[in-house]
Structure 1
């Protein structure tokens, strides 16, 4: 994928995620099972992840742990997804600045999510090149050093992972008969 393809994919995934969370009944948006995140917390976590990546993209390449892979090359989306799922099975969990603390209404959080997708798209346009995709590296908290392309594949999958998690968690409730 080139930068334009990643931008299109981010916008499409962002629209899918935002539409789902916007359409949730308010009680489903804030309710959480014991030891689980609510839909609001999942959305806030995605917002936080997007904002950190946007910040990294806007920084000079000698900051934020940027490096260079030699020789250039990236794992495929499927390889990156497998590595992420393996890290999760190994006990990796969100921590620090990635822990959710949703503030605001459902509509405000959905808009903040949309804004975070637009911010990512903007920073890809303003600060990145197709050449950097498979050569420039940056740190990922669960996967270690990844190329920019790998980080973008991760971001696309990460949003889908959390969307599907919320959908799965709510599915049994949708089948309950009052």
Structure 2
């Protein structure tokens, strides 16, 4: 996947997630019937996940050498997706810095604004990298180990969609929200 395609998919993944979350009712934004993270918490988690990527993308390349040189070529989007799915299947969970606190409805607009800022920053930052540099530097990932910059961007795209899909599955059209809530409570 080339740099321009990565930028387009980053834009789409961030936009698709924020559009979905922005259209949820206030109640759906702050509550999760399964006792998992609410939509608001998932939004906060994605912001927390994007910030270090943006920080790394904007560091002088010299400092990124601290993480070492990649020992292999960048893997494909599909390979990164599959590795992440397997890690989750094996029981991995988000590490402490990325675990969001309880989210209140008053935070929705602020969080959506921050999410959009992270998106714009990331897309702009990727444009400052040469195509070859995306494979020349690596960054640490708390669950997947060291990934090339290209792989981190693939992960970010997939990670946004992973959380979007999780939320979409909760919106069961055959069961209205009160029915789902009642099922969980009783």
Match of 1:143 in 2: 144
Residues 54-63 or 14-23, more deviating: 54-63
In structure 2, the CA distance between the partners of 1:44 and 1:174, relative to structure 1 (3 Å rule), is farther
CA contact (8 A) 2:84 2:144 kept: yes
Match of 1:121 in 2: 123
Match of 1:164 in 2: 165
SS in 1 for 2:100: coil
Deviations 1:84-104 (A, max 9, x none): 011111221112221113475
TM-score of the two chains, using structure 1 as the length reference: 0.89
TM-score of the two chains, using structure 2 as the length reference: 0.85
CA contact (8 A) 1:76 1:150 kept: yes
Match of 1:28 in 2: 28
Give structure 2 stretches of 5+ with no counterpart: 180-186
Deviation at 1:79, TM superposition (A): 1.0
Distance across 2 between alignment mates of 1:70 and 1:109: 37
In structure 2, the CA distance between the partners of 1:54 and 1:26, relative to structure 1 (3 Å rule), is same
Distance across 2 between alignment mates of 1:34 and 1:164: 15
In structure 2, the CA distance between the partners of 1:31 and 1:121, relative to structure 1 (3 Å rule), is same
Instruction: List structure 1 segments (4+ residues) > 6 angstroms apart after TM superposition.
Output: none
Quote the RMSD (CA, aligned, Å): 2.1
SS in 2 for 1:153: helix
Match of 2:182 in 1: none
Match of 2:5 in 1: 5
Distance across 2 between alignment mates of 1:93 and 1:100: 13
Deviations 1:86-138 (A, max 9, x none): 11112211122211134752222112111111111122223x22011222211
Match of 1:154 in 2: 155
Distance across 2 between alignment mates of 1:117 and 1:136: 21
Match of 2:14 in 1: 14
Aligned length: 176
CA contact (8 A) 1:48 1:98 kept: yes
Deviations 1:154-174 (A, max 9, x none): 110000000010111232685
